[in-house]
C-alpha cells in the first residue's frame, strides 16, 4: 500500500479524506449486502432477505451524497493529478457499488419466490458461482481500501471463471426446466439469480479498473490480458 502526501490546506485534505472514507464504507456495506443476500437464498431466510432489501435505500443515499461531494470538490478546489483521479474514480465507483446493491436486493427478493430447499446439484453450482463473484467483489473493495493496484489489475482475469460458472449453472437450470416443465417458474428465478451473481463480478472488475486508474493513471478498459499485468 502506497502512502500519499497530505495537502497544506486542511479543509481540502479533510474533504478528500471524507470522500475516500465514503468509498470504503460504501464498498464494505455493499459487500455485506451481497453476502447476506446469498446467505438468505441458501438458508431460505425471509427475515434476512427483508433486511437486505431495506438496506438498499442507504446505499442509494450514499451514492447521491458521494456524487454531490465530488461536484463540490471539483467546484471549490479544482483538483489535479491524483486528486482529480480520485474524484473521477469516486464518480464511477459509486455507480458500480450502487448497482451491486441493486443486484443483492434482487437476489434477496427472489428468496420468497423459491421453495425452502434447492436441488443439491443446482445449489452446488449456484454456491460456487456466488463464492467466486462475491470473492471478486471482496478483492475489489480490498484493492480500493488498501490502494492495491496489483490486486485490482488481476480481477478481470478471474472474471472468466465467473462467466464459466454462470454458464454451467444456467445450463443446469434450463435442463431441469426442460425435464420438468412444472418447475419452470422456479428455474426462471434461479436463472435470474445466476445472472445477478455474474453481474456482481462484472461490477467488481469495473471497480478494479477504476482503482488502477486512480493509483496509476492507466486506463484498463478493453485492455488485453497481458497488458493488464504489466
Cell 472514507 belongs to 21
Residue-wise pLDDT tens digits, 42-70: 999 999 999 999 999 999 999 999 999 99
Residue-wise pLDDT tens digits, 122-145: 999 999 999 999 999 999 999 999
pLDDT tier at 2, thresholds 50, 70, 90: very low
> In CATH, what number does 10-228 get?
1.20.58.220
| Domain residue limits, the chain | 10-228
Residue-wise pLDDT tens digits, 80-100: 999 999 999 999 999 999 999
Q: What is the pLDDT of residue 4?
A: 55
**Alpha-carbon separation of residue 197 from 149, 170, 206 (angstroms):** 24, 11, 15
Asked if 31 and 138 count as a contact pair (C-beta separation under 8 A), the reply is yes
Of 21-25, 91-95, 155-159, 205-209, which gets the smallest average pLDDT? 155-159
DSSP at 44? T
Q: 62 exposed, middle or buried (CB, 10 Å; 0-12, 13-18, 19+)?
A: buried
**Interatomic CA distance for residues 88 and 85, integer angstroms:** 5
> pTM surpassing 0.95?
no
**Angle at alpha carbon of residue 76, lines to 74 and 80, rounded to 5°:** 50
Asked if 27 and 141 count as a contact pair (C-beta separation under 8 A), the reply is yes
Amino acid at each position: 500500500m502506497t502512502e500519499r502526501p497530505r495537502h497544506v490546506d486542511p479543509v481540502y485534505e479533510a474533504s478528500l479524506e471524507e470522500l475516500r472514507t465514503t468509498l470504503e464504507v460504501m464498498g464494505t456495506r455493499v459487500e455485506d449486502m451481497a453476502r447476506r443476500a446469498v446467505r438468505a437464498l441458501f438458508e431460505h431466510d425471509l427475515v434476512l432477505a427483508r433486511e437486505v432489501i431495506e438496506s438498499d435505500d442507504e446505499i442509494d443515499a450514499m451514492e447521491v451524497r458521494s456524487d454531490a461531494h465530488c461536484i463540490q470538490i471539483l467546484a471549490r478546489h479544482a483538483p489535479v493529478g491524483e486528486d482529480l483521479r480520485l474524484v473521477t474514480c469516486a464518480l464511477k465507483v459509486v455507480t458500480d457499488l450502487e448497482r451491486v446493491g441493486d443486484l443483492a436486493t434482487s437476489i434477496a427478493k427472489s428468496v420468497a419466490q423459491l421453495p425452502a430447499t434447492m436441488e443439491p446439484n443446482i445449489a452446488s453450482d449456484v454456491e460456487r458461482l456466488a463464492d467466486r463473484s462475491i470473492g471478486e467483489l471482496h478483492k475489489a473493495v480490498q484493492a480500493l481500501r488498501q490502494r492495491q493496484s496489483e490486486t485490482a489489475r488481476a480481477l478481470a482475469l478471474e472474471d472468466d471463471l465467473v462467466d464459466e460458472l454462470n454458464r454451467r449453472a444456467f445450463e443446469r437450470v434450463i435442463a431441469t426446466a426442460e425435464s420438468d416443465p412444472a418447475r419452470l417458474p422456479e428455474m426462471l428465478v434461479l436463472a435470474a439469480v445466476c445472472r445477478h451473481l455474474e453481474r456482481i463480478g462484472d461490477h467488481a472488475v469495473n471497480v478494479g479498473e477504476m482503482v488502477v486508474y486512480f493509483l496509476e493513471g492507466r486506463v484498463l478498459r478493453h485492455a488485453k490480458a497481458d497488458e493488464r499485468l504489466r
